Structure 1
Amino acid sequence: MGSGDVPVLNLDRLRELMFASAGGTAASPFDTHPYLVVQAVSGDQADADKLAAWLRTQPCPVIGIAGEGSDPAVLTACDLVLDSFAELDAIAANIRRAPLAAMTLVQVLRVTAGMPLAQALVVESLAYSTLQGGPEFAAWSRANPPAPHGVAAEDGPPVLIARAGEHLDIRLNRPRNRNPMSVEMRDALVEALQLVVADETIRGARVSGVGACFSSGGELREFGTAPDPASAHAVRSLRLPAAVLIRCADRVAFHLHSACIGAGIELPAFAVRITAARNAFLQLPEIRFGLIPGAGGCVSLPQRIGRQRTAYLALSARRINAATALEWGLVDEIVD
């Protein structure tokens, strides 16, 4: 049974692949189908634990299809689990378009599970830098060359800061450009969060956005302007808002509205509390650029919604609304 041209494997077929590969690799980013799709239905229970351990070593996304009698050990080993075949074709197509990014994503999510946050951010950054030097991002960059001159000039500082007693209000302030995480926004946000870290009399900080949306994510017109991937990793090591936020996250809340894309949800997911307007929608689109979430999302989202739902969001590039985000625990409350 399958969906379109996507082959779906039961446990018997997986067992054959495991033995045929001598416990090695059954699929790779260089294959026609750079993923494994597993339907572990009843009657296929033998050696399930051994198969689950083998699936965790595969250098490709492992997609589980849940159903009555599915083996829990095998489904837990999968990188993402779908309740039906409805979205399988679209996710498989995304993986085929960017198999290296898809592989890197699931590997990062696997290896950083349970890792201290600061160390996990280093792993994410190294993986992101690797993909910045890869063919998938290069192809996207050729079709979308850097255009930093196209960023509309706006008055005032990129981040507005106001203090009232023990509370600090931080607002992203590039509404004409939809509050992208540009270089100037990144640096200003780092400084604002460093203030929270340094001043323990600030009992609570609230981050929100001015204008039509909270944040449209990374400033795409600046993508590809780093001199080289190694230098880009060095800059993230020095100026990553997430690395500062994790040091004061228990005192920081975010309020989201309308578009919260890429960094626009990756960073808030670290905070102790997230509220969202009913019109908020959240998305991880990086697979379309041949990249993975690089603003901390491979670390922050699993803390809230788990590894499998994070992989689902990243590989599907699907938008979810505030109600779904609340149901999953990605936001804590919807407010009008």
Structure 2
Amino acid sequence: MNYQNILSETQGAVAIITINRPKKLNALNRETIQELHEAFNEANEDDAIKVIIVTGSGDKAFVAGADISEFANYSVKEGKNLAAKGQALLFDFIENLSTPVIAAINGFALGGGLELAMACHFRVASDNAKMGLPEVSLGVIPGYGGTQRLPQLIGKGRAMEMIMTASMIDAETACSYGLVNHVKKQEELISFCQNISAKILRNSTVAIGAAIKAINANFKDGINGFDIEIKQFGKCFGTEDFAEGTTAFLQKRKADFPGNRD
């Protein structure tokens, strides 16, 4: 598929999606959010794709935020619809994909950019990365899940401070907070994410998808994460991947998972 604002390529079983608006520091507008949805959906539907890496073009920004010019004059209703549609179309969508998504944060990840990274299953940052949710400096709050995911990742107090002060933190601080898993030199960022992907590729995609569902369930109101874990654990016993994994273990050989998804 041809895109205007993103690039999508496949390297073996790994899809790399790049937000490509360098003149706008890869800021998210409606068209880019729609294209990202389509690219992520296409990769997730492709059984040959086992991992997705998302990053930004250039060496300055992952995503520097939302394109403010699009919504500066919105009404209350339009603002609410903007957040609701964006969350459903992209941020919640990514979080609940069965294919693992790694955010390779290669520079500024601000506002909607940090919210995009937080929607991914985990994050790796370049050593020049800066992260923050500066929305209150514009008289608004994070609207793409930032007030929910940031406290989940770094704790309520630190999230309150970051949001209230509209301050940025550097990559090492983000790592110490648990916001990102690793910090690497920019030129090593994608190769490091590919190395993590290679480790993921050794394992059952069916089991990984089940683990994502169980882990996410713990953060959803009204849902007992332990119950979801039990259900997903039981479902694994009926899969071809479980049969292959246990047989390979008993036969002392490397498993060759068929990876047949539901």
TM-score by length of 2: 0.64
Q: Which amino acid aligns with 1:168?
A: A
CA–CA distance in structure 2, aligned partners of residues 269 and 207 of structure 1 = 12
1:223 is the counterpart of 2:71: yes
Q: Which amino acid aligns with 2:170?
A: N
**After the TM superposition, which segments of 4 or more aligned residues of structure 1 sit over 4 Å from their partners?**
none
Query: 1:232-290: CA deviations, max 9, x gaps?
Result: 43354344310211111760001112211111111211222211111111111111111
Report SS of the residue matched to 2:141. coil
Which range moves more in the overlay, 192-201 or 315-324? 192-201
User: Is this contact kept in 2: 1:160–1:173, CA < 8 A?
Assistant: yes
CA–CA distance in structure 2, aligned partners of residues 193 and 209 of structure 1 = 15
Quick check: which has more Rg, 1 or 2? Answer: 1
Matches within 5 A, 1:181-196: 181-196=28-43
User: Is this contact kept in 1: 2:43–2:52, CA < 8 A?
Assistant: yes
Q: 2:154 aligns with which of 305, 310, 325?
A: 305
Q: 1:214 aligns with which of 39, 62, 65?
A: 62
Q: Which residue of 2 aligns with 1:143?
A: none
- Closer/same/farther in 2, CA of residues 229 and 193 from structure 1, 3 Å limit: farther
CA–CA distance in structure 1, aligned partners of residues 43 and 156 of structure 2 = 29
User: Is this contact kept in 1: 2:44–2:98, CA < 8 A?
Assistant: no
Q: Which amino acid aligns with 2:66?
A: G
- Closer/same/farther in 2, CA of residues 283 and 334 from structure 1, 3 Å limit: same
- Closer/same/farther in 2, CA of residues 207 and 161 from structure 1, 3 Å limit: same
Matches within 5 A, 1:96-135: none
User: Is this contact kept in 1: 2:5–2:21, CA < 8 A?
Assistant: yes
1:175 is the counterpart of 2:33: no
Report SS of the residue matched to 2:63. coil
User: Is this contact kept in 2: 1:214–1:259, CA < 8 A?
Assistant: yes
Q: Which amino acid aligns with 1:218?
A: A
User: Is this contact kept in 2: 1:266–1:297, CA < 8 A?
Assistant: yes
TM-score by length of 1: 0.50
CA–CA distance in structure 1, aligned partners of residues 113 and 123 of structure 2 = 12
Give the gaps of 5 or more residues in structure 2: 186-262
User: Is this contact kept in 2: 1:249–1:272, CA < 8 A?
Assistant: no
User: Is this contact kept in 1: 2:63–2:113, CA < 8 A?
Assistant: yes
CA–CA distance in structure 2, aligned partners of residues 191 and 165 of structure 1 = 20
Query: 1:209-244: CA deviations, max 9, x gaps?
Result: 002211110112222244x33244335434431021
CA–CA distance in structure 2, aligned partners of residues 225 and 191 of structure 1 = 27
Q: CA RMSD in A?
A: 2.0
Report SS of the residue matched to 1:267. helix
How many Å apart are 1:320 and its aligned residue?
0.6
- Closer/same/farther in 2, CA of residues 160 and 272 from structure 1, 3 Å limit: same
Q: Which amino acid aligns with 2:54?
A: V
More helix by proportion, 1 or 2? 2
Matches within 5 A, 1:5-16: none
Q: Which residue of 2 aligns with 1:333?
A: 182
CA–CA distance in structure 1, aligned partners of residues 103 and 135 of structure 2 = 22
Give the gaps of 5 or more residues in structure 1: 1-155
CA–CA distance in structure 2, aligned partners of residues 302 and 220 of structure 1 = 24
User: Is this contact kept in 2: 1:167–1:203, CA < 8 A?
Assistant: yes
Report SS of the residue matched to 1:214. strand
Q: 1:289 aligns with which of 135, 138, 158?
A: 138
Q: Which residue of 2 aligns with 1:265?
A: 114
* Aligned residue pairs, count: 181
CA–CA distance in structure 2, aligned partners of residues 249 and 208 of structure 1 = 19
User: Is this contact kept in 1: 2:14–2:51, CA < 8 A?
Assistant: yes
User: Is this contact kept in 2: 1:267–1:300, CA < 8 A?
Assistant: no
User: Is this contact kept in 1: 2:108–2:129, CA < 8 A?
Assistant: yes
Q: Which residue of 2 aligns with 1:256?
A: 105
Matches within 5 A, 1:227-246: 228-240=75-87, 241-246=90-95
How many Å apart are 1:172 and its aligned residue?
0.5
Q: Which amino acid aligns with 1:220?
A: I
CA–CA distance in structure 2, aligned partners of residues 253 and 210 of structure 1 = 16
Report SS of the residue matched to 2:62. coil
Q: Which amino acid aligns with 2:53?
A: R
- Closer/same/farther in 2, CA of residues 198 and 233 from structure 1, 3 Å limit: farther
How many Å apart are 1:165 and its aligned residue?
2.7
CA–CA distance in structure 2, aligned partners of residues 201 and 333 of structure 1 = 27
User: Is this contact kept in 1: 2:64–2:108, CA < 8 A?
Assistant: yes
Report SS of the residue matched to 1:279. coil
